[in-house]
Amino acid sequence: MLKPDQGLALKLLKLSVSSDDFQETLQLKKQIKKALQEREVPYLSAVEFDQILRWKLDKQYHRSKQQREINVDEVVVPITRACFSIRSDDKNYEIELKLKTLTTMRGVAIPLASAILAICFPDEFVVIDSLLWELIYKEEKSSFTVSDYLKFLSFFSSLSKHTNCSLQDTEHLLWLYQQSLS
């Protein structure tokens, strides 16, 4: 298992966060943030939801598109509104409820739910990813549980303290590091 320590942080900080993918992510986060701020009660529209899925799934977007097409405004708006309004003094329980609420939509499992939360709330969430999971935990995994996500998020919370970067910048740096190893 990788240790979220100063040594790893130094390796990561040598990498650049100026890639096209990173710029696309920043643009999407900015667009979604603006939309959420304009609403009295935050939610995603079906179009915004789809933009996040397209960003996360990239070349795999069309694989399960037909299954997800049922997620129209009448589904996406109330579910994301409910998800974004969940609060608990127990942060892990709050995260669990948010993830599970999003996964009630067809075609949305923990990785997509984490992508939605990460784009909407970039200071609090990261996107769980099988390649990073394998790098960190030396274990191949293709499906994830809420417990897996909490473990993954905890790793990045720890590592981001050593990099003095945001959670998502730290995640992106580790992703670039993983790519450099391939």
- For residue 178, give the amino acid letter: Q
pLDDT band at 14 (very low <50, low <70, confident <90, very high): low
pLDDT at 160 over 60: yes
The predicted-structure confidence for 66-108, as pLDDT tens digits, reads as follows: 667 889 999 999 999 999 999 999 999 999 999 999 999 998 9
pLDDT at 146 over 90: yes
The predicted-structure confidence for 170-181, as pLDDT tens digits, reads as follows: 888 888 888 888
First to last CA, the chain: 18
CA angle 155, 157, 158 (to 5 degrees): 65
Q: Where are the beta strands (DSSP E) in 65-159?
A: none
Q: Name the pTM for this structure.
A: 0.88
